[in-house]
A and B are shown apart, each in its own frame.
Chain A
Amino acid sequence: MTSFPVENSGLGAAADRPYHETYRQAEHFRTQADEFDAVKLGVWLFLATEILLFSGLFVFYGIMRMLHPEAFIHGSSLLDWRWGLLNTLVLLYSSYTVASAVRCAQVGDQKGLQRNILITFVMGLLFLVIKFVFEYAPKYAEGKLPGFWYSYPNWESPYEPLWWGMYWGATGVHASHVIIGMGLFVWLYIRARKLHFGPKHYNAVEGVGLYWHIVDVVWIFLFPMLYLIH
């Protein structure tokens, strides 16, 4: 009923034209513009839920910092802000490329679309590599771990395990969003290779792009909170 009806339509003229030109909205929408607006509203609502999800972690940070400022200040000083900054730049650049991908879809630049999706994917991967190789791995080795597993000897406040619980929790939930985003870029890339997106049909690119921006924005808040505020 609401599946994409075109591919099996068997209409001669439509058969040799790319999907994005022959695409029609799902049957329950009156116009393609209606469908586009609906998808966009849906994505924005989803982004609102994401913000509220992360807000729980920000409250965690705020309350615990208020209760144990010395633990958080010392914990923060053990993070290397240069890795944080590098990752911020990586994500900012990926936000630029994903916005470019949407633009390419709008103007029908298929090569540019594929290239930008690919670069964004690689940037996501780079973010994770930096995160895991240069941040998580050394901390794991040094015993800067949450709660009962904490074994780092040079602590200054007995509540530092709490700081590391917050650090791993917040960055872990964020990293899982990066991984989900990368999965979405694989999906987009496959569809882009099949010429699914064009000026008349780029809902998915726009939706994933918006999601990626929120992942970026969350990091932009996490970076100063974790690395910079002393």
Chain B
Amino acid sequence: MASISGTNVGAHGHDHAHHDEPYLTPKSSLWATIIDWATTIDHKKIGVMYLVAVLFMFFLGGVAALAVRVELLEPTRTVTTTVNGETTVQITGSVMHSVGMATDMASAGDWYNKIFTLHGLIMVFLVIVPSIPASLGNFLMPLMLGAKDVAFPKLNLASWYIYLFGSFFAIASAVVGGVDTGWTFYTPYSTITDAGHWKVVFMILAAFILGFSSILTGLNFIVTVHKLRAPGMGWFDMPLFVWGMYGTSLIQVLATPVIGITLLLLIFERLFHIGIFDPRMGGDPVLFQHFFWFYSHPVVYVMILPGMAIMSELIAVFCRKKVFGYRAVAFSSLAIAAIAFVVWGHHLFTSQGEVAAAVFSALTFLVALPSAVKVFNWVATLYKGSIDLKTPMWYALGFLFLFSIGGLTGLFLGALSVDLHLHDTYFVVAHFHYVMMGGTIIAFIGGIHMWWPKMFGKMYNEFWGQTGFWLVFIGFNLTFFPQFIMGVHGMPRRYASYVDEFLIYHQLSTVGSWVLLLGFLVHFFNFVHSLAAGPKAPPNPWGALTLEWTDAASPPITHNFHHEPVVTHGPYDYDDVVPAQTKPGEFPLPPKAEGRTVHVVKAGH
């Protein structure tokens, strides 16, 4: 690496020893360490901070979900009895009723509306959208590409603080009373509910601000992929995780501004009554739905593409096999990103013209193609692979199972005639939970297990990892599968009450949510135990071939690599690199610094 001006060669050599330490090394005092983390532009630290924040928000959103499920253990009933001309009103079956009375709510249903809205808003805007890209993506992208950092490290830190700022507004809104609009903010309800109160504006503002965080992360990743690949790494030598992130980032950059202007117009509508979504003034409330879903449908793929990105890595590493159809998997990420922009109308089947609905229905079916390409390719990768059933691999298998159910039920909903029956029922709720949670969150947890040793330099306990997986897997299915059945039978979403026929399904679902909680607690304590007393992780415990494993320590040094890596083999060339007699679970390290496989050249500084 030649110096440009030649006058300041020494400028690079400042405190170099410091950058050879593991990035987690604390500073001299606690205060200095806190300042160091708060002002860091190291993508790894930012990734870890995001991980902690996202998991905390997942906890908050999870508590809201548990509250929703507890409320649905029994139907909420308002029983009016008249004895001798005296009428008494009694509310039965509501756990939240007493809470609602204590906090001066209009009714138990009011409380329920706020809780499910809070659950949706937190899980979508604060958890799933930033989850994988901002935490694992930030941590891994530069490492996988052989770079020292993302393209714009300061922007990366800025996007972290924007995320915190947006979260502040979301929490503030919940603290001052919460909103009951549903996470979709549909007009005209969202423009008139709690009129004169700031909490709805706060929540809209939160989503608006969080959008900027999302845009900046996406922009950073796109430039990083274009400009910071290690020497020798062509586009088709990149790990598929990077391809998935690239597709995600494209959507983040191109769709998020639209929700920005939509939410801005919604705020204008609430504060200044500009009339755009108000039919009394000639506006069109359905226009809001178009605006909203023009962003929020593509963002569904912002949520699932990173899960798919992790899947490709999990499957390849734990089958010790080249991913079947690498290019097909890579291009399907871009195809999903492209199709994402033309299917938003399927959220409005019941509020648009027949021709438009038919066109959107047909376009919706197109999404199934690249999604199926991925699933089939992963399954084909399993074939004759040396499958090693570690916790991450169990999660990969869980993803295949759950995402297939979620994806196929999406086709039910994309079919126009069927959707008219299933619209706004629990079938929809079950469908998107199978994709968002059964897909994205499952892949996320699998990914955290896989890269845990790299991020923190400690191994987790395999037995408790797998125990946690089975609890999550069983709990998840117990929670959400009954909801498919309820939905087909006509149980509408977003109601605190229901007829007795649905009692058994709701109770199964609620019990499932407790099993799910238990599973997450097992994982949580397993991770805490690993940090406190886990065995030290080797640089490459899984014998993987991507750069973060082959060329970086566990945990990586501040500068990621001692020498700039040069790539001479593909990310999944196990056939060429790993000895043929390897047994599952052995994970021999690929030969290092040999001319045949990995060239390591000393970068010029």
A60 to B288: give the CA distance in the assembly, Å: 10
The one of A30, A31, A49, A169 in contact with B274, judged by C-beta atoms closer than 8 angstroms, is A169
A154 near B: Cβ within 8 Å?
Answer: no
Chain A residues with CB under 8 A of B511: none
B4 near A: Cβ within 8 Å?
Answer: yes
- Contact code string A4-39 (vs B, CB < 8 Å = 1, else 0): 011001010110010001111111111110100110
Given A41-B226, A52-B254, A162-B283, the answer on whether A1 and B4 have CB atoms closer than 8 Å is: no
Instruction: Decide if A146 touches B275 in the complex (CB within 8 Å).
Output: yes
Chain A residues with CB under 8 A of B261: 52-57, 173
Chain B residues with CB under 8 A of A34: 227-228
- Contact code string A179-202 (vs B, CB < 8 Å = 1, else 0): 000000000000000000000100
A2 to B273: give the CA distance in the assembly, Å: 47
A224 near B: Cβ within 8 Å?
Answer: no
The one of A22, A45, A149, A162 in contact with B282, judged by C-beta atoms closer than 8 angstroms, is A162
Instruction: Decide if B253 touches A71 in the complex (CB within 8 Å).
Output: no
Nearest-CB residue, chain B, relative to A53: B257
A109 near B: Cβ within 8 Å?
Answer: no
CB distance from B238 to the nearest CB of A (A): 17
Nearest-CB residue, chain B, relative to A157: B282
Given A38-B226, A162-B283, the answer on whether A64 and B215 have CB atoms closer than 8 Å is: no
Instruction: Decide if B273 touches A148 in the complex (CB within 8 Å).
Output: yes
Q: How large is the interface on A (under 10, 10 to 19, 20 to 34, 35 or more residues)?
A: 35 or more
B 1-24 contacts with A by CB, 8 A: 1-5, 7-8, 10-12, 14, 19
A169 to B277: give the CA distance in the assembly, Å: 13
Instruction: Decide if A6 touches B275 in the complex (CB within 8 Å).
Output: no
A148 to B281: give the CA distance in the assembly, Å: 9
A12 to B1: give the CA distance in the assembly, Å: 23
Instruction: Decide if B227 touches A52 in the complex (CB within 8 Å).
Output: no
- Contact code string B271-300 (vs A, CB < 8 Å = 1, else 0): 011111010011110010001000000000
Instruction: Decide if A2 touches B41 in the complex (CB within 8 Å).
Output: yes
A179 to B260: give the CA distance in the assembly, Å: 19
Instruction: Decide if A67 touches B284 in the complex (CB within 8 Å).
Output: yes
Instruction: Decide if B272 touches A147 in the complex (CB within 8 Å).
Output: yes
A46 near B: Cβ within 8 Å?
Answer: yes
Instruction: Decide if B222 touches A1 in the complex (CB within 8 Å).
Output: no
The one of B4, B215, B220 in contact with A49, judged by C-beta atoms closer than 8 angstroms, is B215
The number of residue pairs between A and B whose CB atoms lie closer than 8 Å in the complex comes to 171
The one of B14, B154, B223, B265 in contact with A60, judged by C-beta atoms closer than 8 angstroms, is B265
A42 to B291: give the CA distance in the assembly, Å: 26
Chain B residues with CB under 8 A of A147: 272-275, 278, 281
Q: Which of B54-62, B67-75, B143-151, B173-181 contacts A (4 or more CB under 8 A)?
A: B143-151
Given A34-B227, A57-B261, A64-B283, the answer on whether A165 and B253 have CB atoms closer than 8 Å is: no
Given A1-B19, A5-B11, A21-B5, the answer on whether A42 and B219 have CB atoms closer than 8 Å is: yes
A63 to B120: give the CA distance in the assembly, Å: 30
A48 near B: Cβ within 8 Å?
Answer: yes
A68 near B: Cβ within 8 Å?
Answer: yes
A60 to B283: give the CA distance in the assembly, Å: 10
Given A1-B42, A5-B12, A13-B7, the answer on whether A52 and B258 have CB atoms closer than 8 Å is: yes
Instruction: Decide if A173 touches B264 in the complex (CB within 8 Å).
Output: yes
A166 near B: Cβ within 8 Å?
Answer: yes
Chain B residues with CB under 8 A of A11: 7-8, 10-11
CB distance from A144 to the nearest CB of B (A): 13
Instruction: Decide if A24 touches B291 in the complex (CB within 8 Å).
Output: no
B153 near A: Cβ within 8 Å?
Answer: yes
B256 near A: Cβ within 8 Å?
Answer: yes
Nearest-CB residue, chain B, relative to A7: B11
- Contact code string B203-245 (vs A, CB < 8 Å = 1, else 0): 0000000000001000110110011100000000000000000
Nearest-CB residue, chain A, relative to B273: A147
Given A1-B558, A146-B272, A169-B274, the answer on whether A37 and B4 have CB atoms closer than 8 Å is: no
A50 near B: Cβ within 8 Å?
Answer: yes
Chain A residues with CB under 8 A of B223: 38, 41-42, 45
Chain B residues with CB under 8 A of A9: 8, 10-11
Instruction: Decide if A31 touches B227 in the complex (CB within 8 Å).
Output: no
Chain A residues with CB under 8 A of B11: 5-6, 9, 11, 14, 24
Chain B residues with CB under 8 A of A63: 284, 287
CB distance from A163 to the nearest CB of B (A): 9
Instruction: Decide if B260 touches A53 in the complex (CB within 8 Å).
Output: yes
Nearest-CB residue, chain A, relative to B560: A28
Chain B residues with CB under 8 A of A6: 8, 11
A6 to B227: give the CA distance in the assembly, Å: 23
Given A2-B41, A161-B275, the answer on whether A24 and B3 have CB atoms closer than 8 Å is: yes
Given A146-B274, A165-B275, the answer on whether A2 and B153 have CB atoms closer than 8 Å is: yes
- Contact code string A88-132 (vs B, CB < 8 Å = 1, else 0): 000000000000000000000000000000000000000000000
The one of B1, B219, B256, B276 in contact with A166, judged by C-beta atoms closer than 8 angstroms, is B276
Given A38-B226, A56-B261, the answer on whether A165 and B4 have CB atoms closer than 8 Å is: no
B464 near A: Cβ within 8 Å?
Answer: no
A54 to B283: give the CA distance in the assembly, Å: 19
Chain A residues at the B interface, C-beta cutoff of 8 Å: 1-2, 5-6, 9, 11, 13-14, 17, 21-32, 34, 37-38, 41-42, 45-46, 48-50, 52-57, 59-60, 63-64, 67-68, 71, 146-149, 158-159, 161-162, 165-166, 168-169, 173, 200
> Which 6 A-B residue pairs are closest in the complex by CB-CB distance?
A165-B274, A56-B261, A147-B273, A159-B282, A28-B148, A52-B257
Chain B residues at the A interface, C-beta cutoff of 8 Å: 1-5, 7-8, 10-12, 14, 19, 41-42, 142, 147-149, 151-155, 215, 219-220, 222-223, 226-228, 253-258, 260-262, 264-265, 268, 272-276, 278, 281-284, 287, 291, 558-559
| New A-B pairs, 9, CB < 8 Å, besides A50-B257, A64-B282 | A5-B8, A24-B5, A29-B228, A31-B4, A60-B265, A146-B268, A147-B278, A165-B273, A169-B268
